[in-house]
A and B are shown apart, each in its own frame.
Chain A
């Protein structure tokens, strides 16, 4: 159990377009999901915390109007990168925490975004 999926696994888009990434917990309910960004050869940096039914909490320096997060159900959170630019190219990874809340976060397989 505790499987998290992401879709798409990779995406290439033109500069100025928007891209939506989905994160799903397949066999458990997740009250909280987290979105991370990882640049090549770097660590995972938390972008935002997404709670079901409420607004996401963004980390300092992350533009909430650029990275739109929606957590509409206990099994789905989406990240939309709006007006993407080449510097947004990165590996985006989500994680989910079971409900009721526990310590362990289960990670999705990641989405490789390339903005041309």
Chain B
């Protein structure tokens, strides 16, 4: 089955700085990679996603890059704000195999004033 590793587990940045979270997946058949933001006690919220036929996608301050050869994908948040503080999860899924999400272990992002 799929295995997703995520680093770092915690990340502290100053407000206005950039934050980068990296994930590695094991199953070369995975073709859809969503990123979720989860605040304490709340549901995961989809913030951006990328499909395997695209190398990069950007939405305002958030961008995701995908390297299919290396099986790496990364989340980039620029101009971080205190409200970006949360736990971020990457995930990988093979949409032709039941669409089961395999989540990474999560990154606790803290944006300090």
| A residues with CB within 8 A of B | 32, 34, 42-46, 49, 57, 91, 93, 95, 97, 101, 103-105, 107-110, 112
Chain A neighbourhood of B101, CB < 8 A: 34, 44, 46, 95, 105
- Whole-angstrom distance from the CB of A53 to the nearest CB of chain B? 16
| B residues with CB within 8 A of A | 32, 34, 41-46, 49, 51, 89, 93, 95, 98-106
Assembly CA distance A43 to B38 (angstroms): 10
Q: Is the interface of B mostly helix, strand, loop or mixed?
A: loop
Nearest residue (CB) in A for B100 is: A46
- Whole-angstrom distance from the CB of A95 to the nearest CB of chain B? 8
Are B103 and A43 touching (Cβ within 8 A)?
yes
Nearest residue (CB) in A for B31 is: A103
Are A110 and B106 touching (Cβ within 8 A)?
no
- Whole-angstrom distance from the CB of A3 to the nearest CB of chain B? 11
Are A103 and B95 touching (Cβ within 8 A)?
yes
- Whole-angstrom distance from the CB of A75 to the nearest CB of chain B? 18
Are B89 and A44 touching (Cβ within 8 A)?
yes
